[in-house]
Structures are given as structure tokens and as C-alpha cells.
Amino acid sequence: MSTGRLTARASGSLNGRVRAPGDKSISHRSLILGGVARGTTTISGLLEGADVLATAAAMRALGATVQRGDDGVWTVTGVPHLTSAAIDCGNSGTGARLLMGIVAGHDIRVTIDGDASLRTRPMARVTGPLGEMGARFEGDRLPMTVQGGSLRAIGYRLPVASAQVKSAILLAGLRAAGLTEVIEPEPTRDHTERMLRAFGVEVAVTDAADGRHVRLMGGQDLTGTTITVPGDPSSAAFPLVAALITPGSEVTVEGVLLNPLRTGLFETLVEMGADLKVINAREISGEPVGDLVARHSRLRGVSVPADRAPSMIDEYPILAMAAAFAEGDTHMDGLAELRVKESDRIALTARGLEACGVTVDERPDGMTVHGLGRAPAGGGLVHTHGDHRIAMAHLVLGLASTAPVTVDEPDMIATSFPGFVSLMASLGAAVTDA
Ligand code: S3P
């Protein structure tokens, strides 16, 4: 990690067509499922960010064959029995939690570690239910050791809306005796369920009064498949919001995943008055995909319903930047989870906006951004605490604020969006070493 900085400054309109990097959630899952499937899985469009590369290395250490072809297509040859290993998930909560789920059902001992941020993040939400299934854990924060083995299926109601927790339980359930059931009061991203089906696993999903029930029988085999990873809506959000707030802009992001459990930000931006349209809607690898066109817009503040949070959980920092330009207040609630992401994203978003002349009311589980109805002053030095999304969100702010905005620890952007600076530059954005 460098101690460098990046600065974004206003430099006229943003224009052009780009392709967002591959979806992070789908990329992790394709490597993990491919690694335990019979035969070979080929993956096109894999996100080659540091988080996903850490999962690729982890699956290799656990015994799968994971290779990148010169054409950028990855092949994974699975193994029926994973082997004991020490793995390092870097900055990735998704990698760590999903891998705990997959190793729990194998009679192996695995040590899992991560970077300073990941070591602070809560793991009991996963070790609790996996422990009930029969896995043993030493420690409740990373680094920790998992002793997997014979598991029994459980029925588990998620206490927090988390696709990572749901996925860890379902992955463990693949090798548990009996029917594993996860009940989610609020539906969360369903890429694990969709992808398990693509690997030949039967997964039942039903909606009931108490929430969504996801069930799978243990003992099912996975068969290697072909996956095309669509563009990540959480990454597409940055150039799209940049276009919405920068006068004269029109930007198209091609091939963006439009799974309805991921599109809460786009819905919210349209409610704010954004000129944001989907064209060329299609389906890729069982997921809805489209091209998104954003044009500079006058935005107005809105109240974002708390139950929309799971479908835009990683997008609140960039929404807050759009809200700073909007006329009137934007209220965001139901966000307690944002405090335990790669950083405390409520606090860092509030501090960053305040450093740039925007007033934010912070609550334990939410925030209100007092929109200015014009460009904020900018001029701040934003401390990102190594959080990629905090860095990118504030750089986008700097592209349309009066004075430049500087962020620290920009190398962390490569965890989810390698090539962010050059992609933004191709649209006309001025983001340079500070
Ligand atoms: C993810 C789920 C979300 C999200 C993360 C990716 C996933 O986390 O914030 O970036 O791939 O399942 P939670 O499930 O903890 O909300």
C-alpha cells in the first residue's frame, strides 16, 4: 500500500462509453464454486481486483487448479476434497466469509487471515451458524482457524440482512446432512442461489410472510460450467454519478448487472430526477444485464426507504456525493451495517463531505446530507482509512466541486476497481497524483 494521494479536479464535461469491471460478488462465487465442482469451469470477465485475486489464491491453496489464460479467460478445475491450508483474504469480507462456509464441510484445518481492516470486522455472524452446523473455530476475529468436518443441516433466520452470511451457510449446507434453510427477513443479493443452479444444484426459494426461505439438500454435487461475469453495478455507479453531477456530460456504461437485488442506487437516482436510462437490456449467465446511459441532471433530495438498503448497501457513499449536489435533504436510514464494512462508511462519508463544505447529520444507523443545489466547495483532504469506495466516491465529488478534492491511500481502489483512474480519464476526468 502506498502513502500516495490522488486529486480530482473539475475539467469540463465527461463523455464516452466504458465497460465496468466484472462484478465482485459473482467473481468470488465463480472461483469458489468452480473450485469444488467436478470438471472444469471457465470464467470470462472475472474481476481481476485484489479481493478476487486473493480468493483465487485461496482456492489454489485449498487444492483447486486456478489458471488465467492469455486471453483473460480463467479456468478452474475443482477438487472433491479440499486440503488444509493457510489463506489470506486481504481486504475482502466476502472472500473470508464465503470461504469459511465452503471449508466448514471438509475435514480440514484452515487458517484464515486478512489485512488490518478485515481483522477488525465481525465474523461471529458466520462462525455462529457454522458452529451450530458442527464446524469449530478458534477466535472470533481474523486471524482464526477453522476445523471443518461432518456437518448437520440447520434452519437459520438471518439476524442481519447479509448475503455473505446467507451464502456461507448455503455453501456449508452443500456438505451437511439434511435440508439447510436460510430465512431472510429482507431479501439480499441472490448470486449464490443463481450460480449454484448453474452448477447443477437444486435450490428452492419461496417467499412467505416471515421473509424469503432459501433451501438446499446436502450431498449434491456441483458440475463445472461456463460463466460470463457481468459488469459490477457497484463500480458502474462511479462514472454514472460523475456524469450526473458534471455539467454537459453523457456517459454510457456497458454490460452492467441489473439484478433487481442490486439496483437500489439506480432506482434512487431516478427518484432524485436523474436522467439515467437502461438500453440494450439482455440476459447473461442467468443474470439481467443492460447498458446504462447517464446525462448531467438537476437532482433533488429524497428519503431513501430503509428496506432498500440491502439492494444498494455498497452504494451509500456515492449516493451521498450525488445528494450533496441535489436541491434539499437526502435522508438515508437502516444503515447500521455500513459501520462494519471496509471502514465505518457513515462516519467517513460524513467527515469527507464536511471537509468539502457539505453539512451531514450522522445517526447511529443513518445520515442526512443537506444538499446545496449547486456544486460544493470541495478543497478537502479525505481520509479513506484504506476503503476503496470512500476513495472513489470522494474523487467523483472532486470532478464537479469548485476546488479539487484529494484522497489518501488510493492504491486500495484496486481491491474492487483496477483501472479506475484510466477509465475515468478516458471520459475526460482529471484525476492525478497529488
Ligand atoms: C456481498 C455482500 C454485501 C456487500 C459486499 C459483497 C456479497 O455484504 O457489502 O460488498 O458478495 O455477498 P453483506 O452481505 O455483509 O451485507
Q: Domains of the chain: which residue ranges?
A: 5-22+231-433, 24-228
Return the ligand 1 atom nearest residue 29 CA: 11
Q: Is the CB of 162 under 6 A from ligand 1?
A: yes
Q: Is the CB of 184 under 6 A from ligand 1?
A: no
Beta-carbon contacts of residue 220 (< 8 Å; ≥ 6 apart): 174, 200, 201, 202
Closest CA to 396 of 366, 352, 354, 359: 352
Task: Spell out the per-residue pLDDT of the chain, length 434, in tens.
Answer: 455 999 999 989 999 999 999 999 999 999 999 999 999 999 999 999 999 999 999 999 999 999 999 999 999 999 999 999 999 999 999 999 999 999 999 999 999 999 999 999 999 999 999 999 999 999 989 999 999 999 999 999 999 999 999 999 999 999 999 999 999 999 999 999 999 999 999 999 999 999 999 999 999 999 999 999 999 999 999 999 999 999 999 999 999 999 999 999 999 999 999 999 999 999 998 899 999 999 999 999 999 999 999 999 999 999 999 999 999 999 999 999 999 999 999 999 999 999 999 999 999 999 999 999 999 999 999 999 999 999 999 999 999 999 999 999 999 999 999 999 999 999 999 999 98
Q: Is the CB of 254 under 6 A from ligand 1?
A: no
Return the ligand 1 atom nearest residue 160 CA: 16
Residue to mutate (ligand 1; options 24, 164, 257; most atoms within 8 A of CB): 164
Residue to mutate (ligand 1; options 26, 89, 94, 194; most atoms within 8 A of CB): 94
Alpha-carbon distance 149 to 7, whole Å? Answer: 50
Fold matches, 5-22+231-433 and 24-228: yes
Question: Nearest C-alpha to atom 4 of ligand 1 is from which residue?
Answer: 314
Return the ligand 1 atom nearest residue 24 CA: 11
Q: Is the CB of 234 under 6 A from ligand 1?
A: no
Q: What's the pLDDT score for residue 1?
A: 43
Q: Is the CB of 337 under 6 A from ligand 1?
A: yes
Q: Which of the residues are catalytic? A: 314
Q: What's the pLDDT score for residue 285?
A: 85
Return the ligand 1 atom nearest residue 234 CA: 10
Q: Is the CB of 27 under 6 A from ligand 1?
A: no
Distances (CA, A) of 280 to 21, 254, 255, 286, 292: 18, 9, 9, 16, 9
63: left (phi over 0), alpha (psi -120 to 50) or beta: left
CATH 3.30.70.1350 given to domain 5-22+231-433: no
Beta-carbon contacts of residue 135 (< 8 Å; ≥ 6 apart): 100, 104, 105, 127, 146, 147, 148, 149, 151, 172
Q: Is the CB of 25 under 6 A from ligand 1?
A: yes
Q: Which CATH superfamily is domain 24-228 in?
A: Enolpyruvate transferase domain (3.65.10.10)
CB 19 within 8 A of CB 434: no
Ligand 1 mean position to 198 CA, how many Å?
Answer: 21
Alpha-carbon distance 16 to 307, whole Å? Answer: 34
Ligand 1 mean position to 166 CA, how many Å?
Answer: 10
Q: What's the pLDDT score for residue 434?
A: 82
Q: Is the CB of 163 under 6 A from ligand 1?
A: yes
Show the cell assigned to 95.
472472500
Show the cell assigned to 180.
439447510
Q: What's the pLDDT score for residue 140?
A: 87
